[in-house]
Amino acid sequence: MELLIGILIVAAFMDMRHYKIPNWCIAPGMAAGLFLSWQQGAEVLLVVLVQTALIFAVFYPFYLMGGIGAGDVKLFMLLGCYLEQHKLMVCIGIAMMLAGAAALVRIICSKECRQHVKEVLCYVYKMLRTGAMTNDMPLKSRAAVIRLAVPVLCSTLLCMGGVL
Please state the domain extents for the chain.
2-108+148-160
Query: pLDDT-derived band of residue 106, with 50, 70 and 90 as boundaries?
Result: confident
pLDDT-derived band at 55, boundaries 50, 70, 90: very high
**pLDDT tens-digit map of 1-37:** 789 999 999 999 999 898 899 999 999 999 999 999 9
Higher pLDDT, 98 or 62: 98
Supply the mean pLDDT for the chain.
88
The confidence score (pLDDT) of residue 36 equals: 95
pTM, to two decimals = 0.81
As a whole number of angstroms, the distance between CA 70 and CA 16 comes to 15
pLDDT digits (tens, 9 = 90+) for 73-84: 999 999 999 999
pLDDT tens track for 112-145: 777 877 888 888 888 888 887 777 666 665 555 6
Residue-wise burial string across 86-112, b where 16 or more C-beta atoms lie within 10 A, e elsewhere:
eebeebbebbeebbeebeeebeeeeee
The answer to whether 80 and 36 are in contact (CB under 8 A) is no
Q: How far apart are CA 46 and CA 24, in angstroms?
A: 24
CB atoms under 10 Å from CB of 62, counted, come to 13
Q: CA geometry: angle at 84 spanning 83 and 86, to 5°? A: 115
